[in-house]
C-alpha cells in the first residue's frame, strides 16, 4: 500500500537519481576540510605508541625511566603490562606524550620493553607446513544439495585447480587515531571513525577499566568527525590507542593527538584475510554446472577466520551438489578487520575463476556459460540483463577469443568476467529535520561521511521532498550528540539515512503545510511543495513562496522526526543486489606485466539517489580492485615474523596511469520500486576474479594466485 513516505514516482523526481556535485567537494578541493589529523588545539600534546618488535612473546618488563627524562616528556600510559602476551609484531604496548611530535618520538624510542620471545608463525599459503606447526583448525565441513557422488558421476566435464589470494591491508590515508580533549567532565574526541554514534560507549567502557579514572559515562563523550580520511571497514572502534589517548589527556590535563604512523597503520590497523584452496567443478556437456567441491584455508591473524561463502552466487541448494571444507590458519599477523564486502572478493575468486576454467574446458563462451547457469543464482533475471549490458559495454562479441587464441606476438589480449552480490540492508537511523521561520532547513543525525557522499545524498532527499535545491539544505552529521544513526559499514548507510531523512522531511513539511493551508484557505492535503513554492494542486494561483510560507511560522521552528526502521513508513529501502564486471587486459608474456585496457561494470542498487557519487563508488571499487588484482599484498617474513612492506613504496597501490579505461553503468528505472540499497561493497567484489579470468583468457593458462605480479605470470607460463 502506498504511503506518504514513498519515494516520488520517476516523473516527479527533480533531484533523486540525477548527477549532483559533491556538497563537500569545494571544502575538500580547497584543503579546508578539517580531519581529525588536522586538529591543532591550544596546548595540545603529541603522543606516540611504543609497539612490539616481536610477533609472539610475553612482556617481562617495561622501563620508562629513560623516556621520562627526555626533553618535553609529559606522561605515558601502559596499554599492556608485564605478563601480558603479544600475538603480533606491531602490537601496542604503551603510549607516551610530549610537547612536540619530535619529542614524543624521542620519548617512545627511549622506552625499553623486555619481551620473552615465543614461537611464531606468519605464513599460511603452505597449509601443510602450517599444520606441522600446529596452526590449522577445521572451520567448516558442510555438504548441500543433491548427492555429491552421483553428481560427479553425472558430470561430463570436470575441472580441478588451485586458486588463492593473499592478505591485503586497508592502508587508510588518514591513519587511525584521534585528538582527545578532556576538560572537567567533558571528553571531546576528534576521531577518524566510521561509527560516530558508537564511539562514546566504546570509549567509556574502555576508560572505566582504568581504576585511577573511575566510572566514565558515554554521555560525557562527544565525538566530532565532520570528515574522515578513509576506513574501508577498519574504523569502527575506539581501539587501544583511542583509550590511551584519552587517558593521557586526563592525566596531563591537555588535549592530546595520537595518530598512527604509516608503519603502524599498515601493520596493525586492519587487514583483509587471505584465501587459498583446491576447487573442483563439474558440468554437463551443455554447460549446466552440477557440482562444486572445495577445500580452502585462510588466515585473519591469531583468531584465524571462518569460511568465505562458497560456492559464490551459483549456490542453488536444490540443483547444485556442494561440498565445502574450510581450514582456519592461526598466524601472528595484525588482526583482520572488515574490508569492503568481507569474504566476498575471496569467494568470487574461488568460484568465478574455476568456473571460467571449466567454461574453457567446455569450449564455451563465458558469457553464454554464466547466463546459462544464472538459474543457480538468487537473481537470474538481474544477472542475465547485466551480463548482456556489460558485454555490450566491453564489446565482448567482437573482442573475445577462445582461451589462448590471442595471436603469435608476445603481447596477449584477453577478456574475463565475474558476478557478485551483496545485501546492503539499511542500518537503524534517526533523523531530525528543522524548518526555521527564516526558511532555513537543517538535517541532523549522528552519521558520518567516509567520502561516499552522505552529505550529498541527505541534501538530495531533503531538497527533493521540500521542493528546494541542494544548497538550501544544511547537513549536520559527524557529531555523536545528534540523533543516533548507525555505523557506516556493509553498505548500510545510504539506505538507513535516506529513509530517516525522507520520513523526517515529509513529517516536517506536513506541519508546514498545515500552517500554509490555514493562511491560503485550502486543504492541507491539496498542497504541494515544488520549485521553492507551496501551492494548491487544484488551484496553482493559491501559492506562497518557500520563504513566505516559513515566515507564517512566526517565531516557531518546526521539528520533524524520522526513523529507520518504521513499519508504517513506506517502502524506502531493501537489500540484495547483483552486479557484473568484465575486464579487458593485455599481458606481455616476455615481461609478465599486465596492463588494464578496460573494465566495464554494471551495478544494480535499487533506487539510485545521486548518480555521480554512485558511479564514483564503483570507479573507486574498480581502482582498488586493480590494486589487489595486480599489485597489492602484505608480505610477511617467517624468520622475523614482521610485515616486510609496511610502507607505501613496497606496499603497492594502483596509480593514475594503471587503471585503463573504466566504464560504469548504474541500473536505473528498472528496480527503483525496491527503494535504496547500499553501494559501497558490491562493486568491490568482482574486479580480482574478472581480471584473473581475463589474464587466463589472454595467456592460455591460469595464474593461480593474486596479485598477478610479473613473477607469477612468468612462472605460470613456464609451468604450462
Partner 1 sequence: MSSNKPIEGSVEGSGAEQRKGFSRRTFIEGIGLGAGAVGSVVVTDGAQADHHVPVGPDPVSITLNINGKNHDLKVEPRVTLIDALRNQLDYTGAKKVCDRATCGACTVMLDGLPAYACTTFAIEAQGRKIETIEGISAGDKMHPVQQYFVEHDAQQCGFCTPGFVMAGKAIVDKNPRPSMSEVEDGLCGNICRCGTYVGVRQAVYDAAGKGSA
Q: By CB under 8 A, which span of 16-24, 140-148, 364-372, 581-589 interacts with partner 1?
A: 16-24
Is residue 451 within the footprint of partner 1 (CB under 8 A)? Answer: yes
Is residue 620 within the footprint of partner 1 (CB under 8 A)? Answer: yes
User: Whole-number minimum distance, CB 667 to partner 1, in Å?
Assistant: 19
- Strand-strand pairing, 275-283 and 157-165: antiparallel
User: Whole-number minimum distance, CB 613 to partner 1, in Å?
Assistant: 6
Is residue 99 within the footprint of partner 1 (CB under 8 A)? Answer: no
User: Whole-number minimum distance, CB 451 to partner 1, in Å?
Assistant: 3
Q: Which listed residue (4, 10, 12, 29) binds partner 1 by CB under 8 A?
A: 29
Is residue 656 within the footprint of partner 1 (CB under 8 A)? Answer: yes
User: Whole-number minimum distance, CB 102 to partner 1, in Å?
Assistant: 6
Q: Which residues pair with 662 in a beta bridge?
A: 599
Q: Which listed residue (46, 121, 163, 383) binds partner 1 by CB under 8 A?
A: 46
- Taking the least distance from each CB to partner 1, the nearer of 105 and 474 is 105
- The CA angle 24-30-33, to the nearest 5 degrees, is 50
Is residue 666 within the footprint of partner 1 (CB under 8 A)? Answer: no
78 grid coordinates: 601502559
CA separation (Å) from 582 to 15, 343, 596, 599? Answer: 30, 20, 11, 6
Q: Where are the beta strands (DSSP E) in 589-706?
A: 594-604, 661-667, 705-706
- Taking the least distance from each CB to partner 1, the nearer of 298 and 624 is 624
User: Whole-number minimum distance, CB 675 to partner 1, in Å?
Assistant: 24
Q: Which listed residue (619, 668, 673, 701) binds partner 1 by CB under 8 A?
A: 619
User: Whole-number minimum distance, CB 655 to partner 1, in Å?
Assistant: 5
Main-chain phi, psi angles of 4, to 5 degrees: -65, -15
Name which of 163, 160, 196 is nearest 36 in CA terms: 196
Is residue 37 within the footprint of partner 1 (CB under 8 A)? Answer: yes
Is residue 621 within the footprint of partner 1 (CB under 8 A)? Answer: yes
Torsion of CA 370, 376, 379, 382, to 10 degrees: 20
Q: Where are the beta strands (DSSP E) in 479-557?
A: 527-530, 533-536, 543-545
Q: Which listed residue (60, 655, 719, 720) binds partner 1 by CB under 8 A?
A: 655
- Taking the least distance from each CB to partner 1, the nearer of 263 and 545 is 263
Q: Which listed residue (26, 61, 138, 410) binds partner 1 by CB under 8 A?
A: 26
Alpha helices in 395-492 (DSSP H): 396-399, 454-466
Q: Which listed residue (16, 171, 446, 534) binds partner 1 by CB under 8 A?
A: 171
- Taking the least distance from each CB to partner 1, the nearer of 113 and 281 is 113
Would you give the distance in Å from CA 226 to the centre of its chain? 19
Is residue 649 within the footprint of partner 1 (CB under 8 A)? Answer: yes
Is residue 585 within the footprint of partner 1 (CB under 8 A)? Answer: no
User: Whole-number minimum distance, CB 612 to partner 1, in Å?
Assistant: 5
Is residue 28 within the footprint of partner 1 (CB under 8 A)? Answer: yes
481 grid coordinates: 550528540
Is residue 597 within the footprint of partner 1 (CB under 8 A)? Answer: no
Task: Give the Cα separation of 194 and 210 in Å (integer).
Answer: 25
- Taking the least distance from each CB to partner 1, the nearer of 296 and 692 is 692
Q: Which residues pair with 573 in a beta bridge?
A: 676
Task: Give the Cα separation of 402 and 124 in Å (integer).
Answer: 34
Is residue 646 within the footprint of partner 1 (CB under 8 A)? Answer: no
Is residue 34 within the footprint of partner 1 (CB under 8 A)? Answer: yes
- Taking the least distance from each CB to partner 1, the nearer of 500 and 654 is 654
Binding to partner 1 (CB under 8 A) within 562-581 occurs at none
158-190: string of b/e by CB count within 10 Å (b at 16+)?
A: ebeeebbbbbbbbbbebbbbbbbbbeeeebbbb
Q: CB–CB of 664/611 below 8 Å?
A: no
Is residue 347 within the footprint of partner 1 (CB under 8 A)? Answer: no
Q: By CB under 8 A, which span of 122-130, 165-173, 342-350, 600-608 interacts with partner 1?
A: 165-173
Q: Where are the beta strands (DSSP E) in 423-540?
A: 429-435, 441-444, 473-476, 527-530, 533-536
CA separation (Å) from 595 to 626, 661, 685, 694, 700? Answer: 10, 11, 20, 11, 16
Task: Give the Cα separation of 614 and 668 in Å (integer).
Answer: 11
User: Whole-number minimum distance, CB 87 to partner 1, in Å?
Assistant: 26
- Taking the least distance from each CB to partner 1, the nearer of 22 and 250 is 22
Task: Give the Cα separation of 91 and 301 in Å (integer).
Answer: 12
Task: Give the Cα separation of 117 and 120 in Å (integer).
Answer: 9
Task: Give the Cα separation of 559 and 556 in Å (integer).
Answer: 10
For residues 471 to 500, the per-residue mask of contacts with partner 1, x marking binding by CB under 8 A and - elsewhere, is ------------------------------
Q: Which listed residue (450, 463, 509, 534) binds partner 1 by CB under 8 A?
A: 450
Task: Give the Cα separation of 664 and 270 in Å (integer).
Answer: 29
Is residue 532 within the footprint of partner 1 (CB under 8 A)? Answer: no
348 grid coordinates: 568470487
- Taking the least distance from each CB to partner 1, the nearer of 124 and 174 is 174
Name the DSSP class of 425: P
Is residue 469 within the footprint of partner 1 (CB under 8 A)? Answer: no
User: Whole-number minimum distance, CB 230 to partner 1, in Å?
Assistant: 4
Q: CB–CB of 614/605 below 8 Å?
A: yes
Packing angle, helices 687-699 and 344-361, rounded to 10: 30
Task: Give the Cα separation of 639 and 89 in Å (integer).
Answer: 12
Is residue 624 within the footprint of partner 1 (CB under 8 A)? Answer: yes
Which helix (H) or strand (E) is 485 found in, with range? Answer: none
Binding residues for partner 1, rule CB under 8 A, total: 63
Which helix (H) or strand (E) is 370 found in, with range? Answer: helix 366-372
Is residue 535 within the footprint of partner 1 (CB under 8 A)? Answer: no
Q: Which listed residue (13, 14, 18, 25) binds partner 1 by CB under 8 A?
A: 25
CA separation (Å) from 22 to 191, 295, 457, 612, 664? Answer: 23, 45, 9, 8, 18
Q: Which listed residue (7, 16, 17, 22) binds partner 1 by CB under 8 A?
A: 22
- Taking the least distance from each CB to partner 1, the nearer of 294 and 686 is 686
User: Whole-number minimum distance, CB 13 to partner 1, in Å?
Assistant: 20
Is residue 173 within the footprint of partner 1 (CB under 8 A)? Answer: yes
Q: CB–CB of 455/23 below 8 Å?
A: yes
Q: Which residues pair with 271 in a beta bridge?
A: 169
First to last CA, the chain: 61
User: Whole-number minimum distance, CB 469 to partner 1, in Å?
Assistant: 16
Q: By CB under 8 A, which span of 4-12, 215-223, 445-453, 534-542 interacts with partner 1?
A: 445-453
- Taking the least distance from each CB to partner 1, the nearer of 34 and 399 is 34
Q: CB–CB of 91/52 below 8 Å?
A: yes
Is residue 659 within the footprint of partner 1 (CB under 8 A)? Answer: yes
Task: Give the Cα separation of 421 and 401 in Å (integer).
Answer: 27
Is residue 714 within the footprint of partner 1 (CB under 8 A)? Answer: no
Q: Find cell 574461488 and name the residue.
A: 350
- Strand-strand pairing, 45-51 and 256-259: parallel
Binding to partner 1 (CB under 8 A) within 224-263 occurs at 227-230, 232, 261-262
Q: Which listed residue (1, 11, 30, 211) binds partner 1 by CB under 8 A?
A: 30
Is residue 653 within the footprint of partner 1 (CB under 8 A)? Answer: yes
Binding site for partner 1 (CB under 8 A): 21-22, 24-26, 28-35, 37-38, 40, 46, 100-102, 105-106, 109, 171-175, 227-230, 232, 261-262, 450-452, 612-613, 615-617, 619-624, 630-631, 647-649, 652-659, 662
Amino acid at each position: 500500500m502506498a504511503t506518504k513516505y514513498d519515494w516520488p514516482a520517476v516523473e516527479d523526481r527533480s533531484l533523486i537519481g540525477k548527477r549532483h556535485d559533491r556538497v563537500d567537494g569545494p571544502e575538500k578541493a580547497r584543503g579546508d576540510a578539517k580531519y581529525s589529523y588536522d586538529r591543532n588545539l591550544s596546548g595540545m600534546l603529541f603522543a606516540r605508541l611504543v609497539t612490539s618488535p616481536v610477533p609472539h612473546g610475553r612482556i617481562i618488563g617495561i622501563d620508562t625511566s629513560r623516556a621520562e627524562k627526555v626533553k618535553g616528556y609529559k606522561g605515558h600510559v601502559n596499554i599492556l603490562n608485564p605478563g601480558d602476551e603479544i600475538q603480533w609484531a606491531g602490537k601496542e604496548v604503551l603510549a607516551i606524550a610530549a610537547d612536540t611530535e619530535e619529542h614524543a618520538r624521542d620519548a617512545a624510542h627511549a622506552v625499553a620493553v623486555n619481551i620473552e620471545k615465543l614461537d611464531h608463525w606468519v605464513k599460511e599459503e603452505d597449509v601443510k607446513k602450517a599444520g606441522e606447526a600446529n596452526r590449522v583448525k577445521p572451520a567448516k565441513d558442510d555438504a548441500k544439495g543433491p548427492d555429491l557422488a552421483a553428481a560427479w558421476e553425472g558430470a561430463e566435464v570436470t575441472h580441478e585447480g588451485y586458486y588463492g589470494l593473499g592478505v591485503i591491508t586497508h592502508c587508510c590515508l588518514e591513519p587511525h587515531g584521534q585528538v582527545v580533549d578532556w576538560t572537567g567532565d567533558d571528553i571531546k574526541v576528534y576521531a577518524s571513525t566510521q561509527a560516530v554514534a558508537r564511539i562514546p560507549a566504546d570509549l567509556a567502557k574502555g576508560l572505566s577499566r582504568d581504576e585511577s579514572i573511575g566510572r566514565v559515562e558515554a554521555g560525557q563523550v562527544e565525538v566530532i568527525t565532520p570528515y574522515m580520511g578513509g576506513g574501508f571497514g577498519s574504523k569502527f572502534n575506539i581501539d587501544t590507542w583511542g583509550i590511551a589517548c584519552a587517558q593521557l589527556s586526563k592525566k596531563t590535563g591537555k588535549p592530546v593527538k595520537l595518530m598512527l604512523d604509516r608503519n603502524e597503520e599498515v601493520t596493525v590497523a586492519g587487514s583483509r584475510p587471505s584465501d587459498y584452496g583446491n576447487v573442483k567443478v563439474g558440468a554437463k556437456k551443455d554447460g549446466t554446472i552440477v557440482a562444486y567441491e572445495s577445500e580452502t584455508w585462510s588466515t585473519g591473524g591469531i583468531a584465524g577466520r571462518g569460511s568465505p561463502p562458497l560456492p559464490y552466487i551459483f549456490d542453488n541448494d536444490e540443483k547444485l551438489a556442494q561440498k565445502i571444507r574450510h581450514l582456519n590458519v592461526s598466524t601472528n599477523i595484525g588482526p583482520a578487520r572488515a574490508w569492503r564486502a568481507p569474504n566476498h572478493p575471496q569467494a568470487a575468486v574461488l568460484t568465478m575463476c574455476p568456473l571460467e576454467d571449466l567454461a574453457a574446458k567446455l569450449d564455451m563462451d563465458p558469457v553464454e556459460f554464466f547466463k546459462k547457469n544464472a538459474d543457480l543464482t538468487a537473481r537470474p533475471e538481474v544477472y542475465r540483463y547485466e551480463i548482456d549490458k556489460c558485454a555490450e559495454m566491453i564489446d565482448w562479441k567482437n573482442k573475445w577469443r577462445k582461451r589462448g587464441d590471442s595471436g603469435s606476438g608476445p603481447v596477449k589480449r584477453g577478456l574475463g568476467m565475474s558476478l557478485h552480490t551483496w545485501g546492503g540492508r539499511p542500518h537503524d537511523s534517526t533523523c531530525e529535520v528543522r524548518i526555521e521561520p527564516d526558511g532555513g532547513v537543517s538535517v541532523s543525525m549522528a552519521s558520518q561521511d567516509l567520502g561516499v557522499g552522505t552529505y550529498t545524498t541527505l541534501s538530495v532527499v531533503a531538497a527533493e521532498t521540500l521542493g528546494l535545491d541542494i544548497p538550501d539544505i544544511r547537513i549536520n552529521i559527524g557529531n555523536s550528540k545528534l540523533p543516533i544513526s548507525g555505523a557506516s559499514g556493509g553498505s548500510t548507510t545510504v539506505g538507513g539515512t535516506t529513509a530517516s531523512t525522507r520520513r523526517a522531511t515529509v513529517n516536517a513539511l506536513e506541519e508546514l503545510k498545515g500552517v500554509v493551508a490555514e493562511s491560503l484557505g485550502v486543504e492541507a492535503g491539496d498542497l504541494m511543495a515544488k520549485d521553492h513554492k507551496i501551492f494548491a494542486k487544484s488551484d496553482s494561483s493559491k501559492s506562497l513562496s518557500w520563504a513566505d510560507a516559513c515566515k507564517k511560522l512566526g517565531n516557531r521552528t518546526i521539528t520533524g522526526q524520522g526513523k529507520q526502521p518504521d513499519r508504517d513508513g513506506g517502502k524506502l529501502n531493501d537489500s540484495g543486489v547483483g552486479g557484473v564486471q568484465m575486464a579487458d587486459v593485455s599481458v606481455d608474456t616476455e615481461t609478465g606485466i599486465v596492463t588494464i585496457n578496460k573494465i566495464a561494470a554494471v551495478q544494480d542498487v535499487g533506487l539510485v539517489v545521486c548518480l555521480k557519487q554512485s558511479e564514483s563508488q564503483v570507479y573507486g571499487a574498480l581502482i582498488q580492485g586493480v590494486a589487489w588484482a595486480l599489485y597489492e599484498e602484505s608480505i610477511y617474513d617467517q624468520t622475523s615474523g614482521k610485515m616486510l612492506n609496511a610502507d607505501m613504496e613496497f606496499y603497492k597501490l594502483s596509480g593514475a596511469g594503471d587503471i585503463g579505461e573504466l566504464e560504469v553503468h548504474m541500473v536505473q528505472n528498472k528496480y527503483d520500486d525496491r527503494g535504496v540499497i547500499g553501494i559501497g561493497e558490491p562493486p568491490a567484489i568482482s574486479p580480482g576474479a574478472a581480471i584473473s579470468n581475463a589474464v587466463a583468457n589472454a595467456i592460455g593458462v591460469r595464474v593461480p594466485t593474486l596479485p598477478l605480479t610479473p613473477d607469477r605470470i612468468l612462472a605460470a607460463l613456464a609451468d604450462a
